[in-house]
Structure 1
């Protein structure tokens, strides 16, 4: 009796069997015809990569063991020793640490570009500059990059544009359709969506870069495990339902927080007074995501009291799960920036980042109200 499962099974195996030498030659002669070893490819990791690739409209993708592995693969696909990259100053702290501490050891140099100068890159470009790394929505202050304009600027200067689309997801923005060359995700966040997976994905706009990503994934051992791939794939199936819910709750909370006397500022693209509100509305097709940052008093005691009182926003240094949480950029994601860099980016003692989940919004509002009281 033939068994045909509706859902792809978990292929929890490190290796696949061959009948004889003819099958071995078929594997090397017709790539993709079968599997050999899970580092080279596994049905579960391939299914996830193909699903993210389809959502982003790419020419090919790989699934990686984490979001950091995805950033690493994207940069290596374009760079080698002696090259130079540009990076938006408003960037996830792990991205800057990777560039500063590790890729510098491989002979890849970096220059950081302030947000206000992202569309005037000529002054930063060197003969060896290969790309610009940026985020659709910056972490943690939710500044929104005009990706079409940024892609035009990069391509006029002969650079590739690599974009981290984790905060937005393809449900809000599809960077490749706006001219971006490589898009990446921490799948750990919204794509998997349930705070139970560590994974990443990288999608290329052209087949050559997609093939290079595949080679890097195999040779550096970045491949995602079967179980994590299966869990992420299960989470991805509800992404189109979850993102509107995250966005709906976050907008209601941002509007509420703006009126609270203990809150000095709210950084959320859905608010009309956000500097890139119009761009965010167009680029996100009317959705603004579930991430925001709020500025309390620059007093650690005040921040601690807020964290301790909140019941629905536990302090957990990650984001984008169906359950709400909060994080503290100064002490976690951007901890290793210099004090000057932190100050330039507006990352101060009172800055708290909220990841708004999909719980009943009235429960979240009531919790924030009592925590701020």
Structure 2
């Protein structure tokens, strides 16, 4: 029979792998990584995805998980346990805050949220049992850019680990490990996969020891990703660099348009020169600013609804980073779990709309936004 060599890795849609005898089984335990036994422990498709993301992030090892949330859980548990204390940047994805405040506190892990203006001076927040700081490269939803090199220096100074959620930026724009972070996480659901058809996460470790720890957590907690979703995400990953360039081109054009529009009160996008971290974003992002932006209409629910209903090609979808443009509403979706006081302090009001800019023709996106804004 002619040898078959597939160009693309096949889908290993199996829960278990077979062995010839006990000798072959022992080889599995003696030589890890040479063979597979059970898909919760490892599968060629999930390993391929993890290895490709690890290369992009220049890590020491990675593991893919069942969702972005399970990636956050894995990263936090890699460095902390009951009785420990963790820090989290105040402006963070609402799901991350809910995990820390509502669930991990039940496991005996305490959390303190650090205001943006205190992020680079942690002495007053660090205790003897503080283990890590969780932050985002670009914050969700108001696109504040963290100086990762400076933050890494500060976390090392106070003796804690830095875990960075790099979902909004992607490794095409920023590589946190190269700037001093200890661990990087992504919701693969978003840019890495890129087509709104996968739910997945990934944790990339900066050291071999940390890599083994996150793999152990994934296996024991059963946070593994299925073979089919691993295959889909690996396929999407192949166009990441091309997609990120077009996302960034479109987002900058839209941000500049919205900034000039009389119905728009404020725009948050690192590519705008008026953005407070514009220079940092340009340096840290290699000249690309990503596909995410937020803007504020008047703080009136009916005005927001009129705008949403008037859009003809841009749907209201509470997620982000697909090839098709969509809008979301942070107050009612991603940051719904925050208290009114937290929402107000962060500036997440009823008029704030998050725009995930796709890779469509720029002129078509601008036209749809323009006609919808006329209805506000």
TM-score bracket, shorter-length normalisation: over 0.9
Q: Secondary structure at the match of 1:91?
A: coil
After superposing on structure 2, the runs of 4+ consecutive aligned residues of structure 1 that deviate more than 6 Å are none
Give the aligned partner of residue 164 of structure 2: 163
2:124 aligns with: 123
Q: Matches of 1:344 and 1:149 in 2, distance apart?
A: 24
Give the TM-score taking structure 1 as reference length. Answer: 1.00
Q: 2: distance between equivalents of 1:313 and 1:165?
A: 25
2:267 matched to which residue of 1? Answer: 266
Structure 2 distance, partners of 1:312, 1:59, is 42
SS of the equivalent of 2:355 reads strand
Task: Tell me the TM-score normalized by structure 2.
Answer: 0.99
Q: Number of paired residues?
A: 373
2: CA distance, partners of 1:135 / 1:334: 15
Q: CA separation in 2, counterparts of 1:175 and 1:103?
A: 25
Residue 85 in 1 paired to residue 86 in 2? yes
Q: How does 1:328-367 map to 2 (within 5 A)?
A: 328-367=329-368
Q: Does 1:215 pair with 2:216?
A: yes
Partner of 1:202: 203
What SS does the corresponding residue of 2:120 show, helix, strand or coil? coil
Q: Which residue of 2 aligns with 1:176?
A: 177
CA distance in 2 between partners of 1:185 and 1:313 (Å): 25
- Residue matched to 1:48: 49
For the residues of structure 1 that align with 2:162 and 2:283, how far apart are their CA atoms?
20
Q: Give structure 2 stretches of 5+ with no counterpart.
A: none
What is the distance in 2 between the residues matched to 1:244 and 1:17? 44
> What is the CA-CA distance between 1:312 and the residue it aligns to?
2.2
Any idea what the Cα deviations from partners look like across 1:124-175, whole Å, max 9, x if unmatched?
A: 1111000000000000000000000000000000010000000000000000
Deviation (angstroms), 1:324: 0.1
Q: Distance in 2 between matches of 1:19 and 1:331?
A: 55
2:290 is aligned to 289
Distance 1:204 1:58 in 2: 6
Say which SS state the counterpart of residue 124 (structure 2) adopts: helix
In structure 1, what is the equivalent of residue 148 of structure 2? 147
Residue equivalent to 2:38: 37
Long gaps (5+) in structure 1: none
Q: Distance in 1 between matches of 2:115 and 2:318?
A: 25
